[in-house]
Structure 1
Amino acid sequence: MRYPGFWQRRGLWARLLWPLGRLVCAEAARRRRRASGRAPDCPVIVVGNLTVGGTGKTPVVIALVEALRAAGHTPGVISRGFGVKVGIEPVDLAEAVAPSSCGDEPWLIHRRTGVPVIVHPYRREAARQLKARYPEVDVIVSDDGLQHHQLARTIEWVVVDGQRGLGNGWCLPAGPLRESPAVLDEVDAVLVNGDEPSRHGAGTRGVPAWRIDFHPQGVIDLFDQSERPITDLAGREVIALAGIGNPARFFAMLEAQGVVIDARALDDHAAPTQTQARAWLADGRPVVMTDKDAVKWPEMPTRAGQVLVVRGGIELPPTLLENTLNTLQS
C-alpha cells in the first residue's frame, strides 16, 4: 500500500477524512475490547504495528526467533503472506516453491531461520496447522498479527518506524493508523526502529520501550553467493533498490556507509519487472538491494559484482529478551 504524504500532517485532506478515521479507531477499539480468541497449547508472541506500511517487523521476527532458539525453545512462525491468495489449506514454507505462493516476508523468514513457517489469512487456523504439523514447536511467533484477535496471545510487541512514527496520529483513511495510539499503553513492549522512543510517545506510561537499529553485516553477491564487507562500497556509485515499507530508511543506511546511491524506490512488496532488472544490469553500476527485494529479483546476474544484497539484522535489547523469557516460563 502506498503511503501518501498527507498522512504525516493534519492538513486539509486528513481533516476531511477524519470522521471516517474516528469510525475505524472506534471499531478497532471495540474488537480489542471484545477479543476472546482461542489459544493453542503453547505461548504466542505477536510482533505487529499500529500503522500500515513497513516498520521493520521482519528483522525483529528473525531476531526473536533466533533468540528463542538460543534460549532452548523450538519456535515456529505464522503469517498472513501479504499479496498472496491462500485457500482452505495453508501454505507450509517447507513445501513452497517461490515467494509468489507464500509472500516475500514469510519466504525470507524461513530462509534466514529455517524454522517452520505457516501462511494462512486466519491466524488461529495457521497456529492450529503449525502445531499439527510440527508438534515440537513450543512458542509461536505471529508476524503482523496485532489486529487479529481470533488468536489469543501471551505477549504483544509493537514495532514503530522511527522516521514516520505514528504519522499524524489519526486512523485510516485520515492517517496511517490501524487503531488508536492508546494501544501503545496496553502492549508488553514497544520497539522504535531507528529513533528514541520518547520522540514518539512510547515508554511514558509504564510500557517498556526500546530503540532498535538495523546493523548491516555485509553484502552477498547474488552471482556466486560470496560475501564482502559493506565498507567495500564506500565511495562507489550504485543503483539502490528498495521495495519495502519505508525505502528511505534503507537508502539512508547506505549513505551512512559512504555509498553514493541512485535510489529506485518501489511500493512495499513490489517486485521489479524483468525489463527494469535488465536495464539496471546493463547500466554498469552495481545494483544493491535489501534481503526482501532479493527474493523477488527476476534476472540472475551474469558476472560478479552486478547484484549485491545487504545482509544484516538487529540486536534485541537484553532486558526485553529477559522479560520475554521470564513470561514464557511463568
Structure 2
Amino acid sequence: MRYPDFWQRRGLLARALWPLGRMVCAEAARRRRRASGRVPECPVIVVGNLTVGGTGKTPVVIALVEALRAAGHTPGVISRGFGVKVGIEPVDLAEAVDPSSCGDEPWLIHRRTHAPVVVHPYRREAARQLKARYPEVDVIVSDDGLQHHRLARTIEWVVVDGQRGLGNRWCLPAGPLRESPAVLDEVDAVLVNGDEPSRHGAGTRGVPAWRIDFRPQGLVDLFDRTEHPITDLAGQAFIALAGIGNPARFFGMLEAQGAVIETHPLDDHAAPTGAQARAWLADGRPVVMTEKDAVKWPEIPTRAGQVLVVRGGVDLPPALLENTLKRLQS
C-alpha cells in the first residue's frame, strides 16, 4: 500500500475520518489492557511499529538477532509474512523455495542471519512451531506484532520513521497509527530511524529512546555477486527503485552518497514486473536497489545491464543491548 499524504496533517479528509480513528484507538487500547501481564514460556522480544508503512524495522531485527547470538543466545525469528497466504501449517524458512512462499522480509532476515525463521499469520502459533522444531532456541524475536497481543512478550521495542514520525498522530483511517501514541510511554524502548527521539515525543516519560541510522556498507552485484565500495555511487547516474514503506528515505541516502538518480518508488512489498526490469536494464544506467527489493527481482534469461544492491545495517546502542541482555537473564 502507499502512504497517503493526508496522514501527515490534520486536514479536511483526516478530520472527516477522525471518528473512525478514535474507535480504532479505543479498541487497540482495550486489547492492550486485556493482554497485559501475560508471561511467555520462552523470552520474546517484539520489534514493531505504531504506524503502518515501513519504519526501517527489518535492519533492527537483523542487528538484534546478530547481537543476541554474539552474546551467547540462540535466537529464532517469527513473522507474519506480509502479503503471503500461509495455510494451516507455518512456513519454515529452511524449507521455503522463494520469497513468494514466505514474504520478502522473513526471507531477507533468514538469508542475512541464518537464524531459524517461521512464518504464520498467528504469531503465537509461529512461536509454538519454532520452539517445537528448534528446541535449542532460547529467545524469540518477533518481526512486527506489537498489536498481536495473543503473543505474550517479554520486551517491546518500537521503531519510528524519523522522516514521517507519527504522522498527524491519529489512528487509522484518519492517520497512520495502529494504536495511540501514548503507547510510546508503555514500551521498553523506542528507536527513531534517522532523527532525534525528542522531535517525535519519545523518551520524555522515562522510556529509553535512541536515534539509529542505516549505514550503507557496500554494493553487491545481483548477478555475479561481486562487491563494490559504497563510494562507487558518487557522481554516477543510476536508476533507483525501492519497494519499501518509505522509498524517499532510501533515495535520500543514495543522494547523500553523491549518486545522480532517476527514482522509481514501488508500493511496500511490491515487486517490479519483468517488463519494468527489462526496460530499466535496457536504459544503460546501472539499477540500484535495496536488499529487500533484490529478493523480488524477476528472473530474466539474459543479463542486459548491471544491478547493484545496497548492503548495510544499523548499529544498536550498547546501553540498549546491555539492558536487554539483563532483562533476558532475570
TM-score bracket for this pair, using the shorter chain length: over 0.9
List runs of 5+ in structure 1 lacking aligned partners. Answer: none
Matches of 1:87 and 1:37, distance apart in 2? 30
Matches of 1:327 and 1:207, distance apart in 2? 15
- Residues 257-287 of structure 1, C-alpha deviation per residue, up to 9 Å, x if partnerless? 0000100000000000000000000000000
The residue aligned with 1:268 is 268
Whether 1:114 and 2:151 are equivalent positions in the alignment is no
Structure 1: 4+ residue segments shifted above 2 A: 36-41, 299-305
Code of the residue aligned with 1:262 in structure 2: it is E
Code of the residue aligned with 2:172 in structure 1: it is L
Say if 1:110 and 1:37 are closer, same or farther in 2 by CA, change over 3 A. farther
- Conservation of the 8 A alpha-carbon contact between 1:40 and 1:127: no
Code of the residue aligned with 1:159 in structure 2: it is V
Say if 1:45 and 1:100 are closer, same or farther in 2 by CA, change over 3 A. same
- Conservation of the 8 A alpha-carbon contact between 2:222 and 2:307: yes
Alignment of 1:1-330 (within 5 A): 1-35=1-35, 39-300=39-300, 302=302, 306-330=306-330
- Residues 83-127 of structure 1, C-alpha deviation per residue, up to 9 Å, x if partnerless? 001111000000000100000000000000000000000011000
Code of the residue aligned with 1:76 in structure 2: it is G
| Equivalent pairs, count | 330
Matches of 1:53 and 1:35, distance apart in 2? 24
- Conservation of the 8 A alpha-carbon contact between 1:158 and 1:190: yes
TM-score by length of 2: 0.98
Say if 1:224 and 1:116 are closer, same or farther in 2 by CA, change over 3 A. same
- Conservation of the 8 A alpha-carbon contact between 1:223 and 1:300: no
1:281 counterpart SS class: helix
2:141 counterpart SS class: strand
Matches of 1:302 and 1:228, distance apart in 2? 22
Question: 39-48 or 184-193, which moves further after superposition?
Answer: 39-48
1:218 counterpart SS class: strand
Code of the residue aligned with 1:160 in structure 2: it is V
1:47 counterpart SS class: strand
Say if 1:66 and 1:305 are closer, same or farther in 2 by CA, change over 3 A. farther
Code of the residue aligned with 2:78 in structure 1: it is I
Say if 1:230 and 1:192 are closer, same or farther in 2 by CA, change over 3 A. same
2:112 counterpart SS class: helix
2:109 counterpart SS class: helix
- Conservation of the 8 A alpha-carbon contact between 1:78 and 1:119: yes
Matches of 2:274 and 2:304, distance apart in 1? 19
2:174 counterpart SS class: coil
The structural deviation recorded for 1:302 is 4.8
Matches of 1:178 and 1:303, distance apart in 2? 43
2:187 counterpart SS class: coil
The structural deviation recorded for 1:204 is 0.2
1:308 counterpart SS class: strand
- Conservation of the 8 A alpha-carbon contact between 1:46 and 1:145: yes
Matches of 2:305 and 2:324, distance apart in 1? 41
Code of the residue aligned with 1:263 in structure 2: it is T
Say if 1:79 and 1:223 are closer, same or farther in 2 by CA, change over 3 A. same
- Residues 291-319 of structure 1, C-alpha deviation per residue, up to 9 Å, x if partnerless? 00000000348559610000000000000
TM-score by length of 1: 0.98
